[in-house]
Structures are given as structure tokens and as C-alpha cells.
Amino acid sequence: MNSSAMFADFPDILTIEDLREALSIGRSTAYRLIASGAIRHWKIGKAIKIPKQFLIDYVADSCKNSVATSSLSEGGIEQ
């Protein structure tokens, strides 16, 4: 299943609550991801808006990084 299909039931523009539900994370973690810039977003007033594509990008990048880290720890990278 690809990431876009995984989030098909979510709106095109997500709120923090949508983000929390999509990733099954708590409030603090959601705000930490936003504050760190890990998930791109914009603000309208005080409201944080996250295009669904930015969430998909975050998940895809996290998976790539996880595979690369796993390969390194297993000695999968030759020098």
C-alpha cells in the first residue's frame, strides 16, 4: 500500500488533530514534529495547516531514512 492510499480518508489540508490520528501520536509529539520542521506546514493565524502531501513526504522520507539506518547497522553498506 502506498502512502497516498494510506491517508485517503484524511482531508487534503490537515490539522494537528488529523496529524495525530494519521500517525497515531500524542499532542506533544505532533507539535515537536511541527516545531522541528520535520513536517512542513503553514500557519493561518494560530492555526497550523498541513497539506496531506507534506505528511506523505514525511512518511516516505522517514521510511527511506529507516532503511538506510538499518542497512548501516547491519553492515549493508560496503566501503
On whether residue 11 sits in a domain, the answer given is yes
33 CB neighbour count, 10 Å cutoff: 19
Encode the chain (79 residues) as per-residue pLDDT tens digits: 566 788 999 999 999 999 999 999 999 999 999 999 999 999 999 999 999 999 999 999 988 776 655 555 555 554 4
Range of the domain at 60: 3-73
β-bridge partners, 43: 48
C-alpha angle with apex 34: 33 to 36, nearest 5 degrees? 65
On whether residue 79 sits in a domain, the answer given is no
On whether residue 36 sits in a domain, the answer given is yes
On whether residue 30 sits in a domain, the answer given is yes
On whether residue 47 sits in a domain, the answer given is yes
Q: What's at 41, amino acid-wise?
A: H
15-18 long-range Cβ contacts below 8 angstroms, 24+ apart: 15/47, 15/48, 15/49, 15/50, 16/48, 16/50, 18/50
Q: How many domains does the chain have?
A: 1
On whether residue 78 sits in a domain, the answer given is no
Do residues 69 and 75 make contact, with C-beta atoms less than 8 angstroms apart?
A: no
Q: What is the pTM of this model?
A: 0.77
65: CATH: 1.10.238
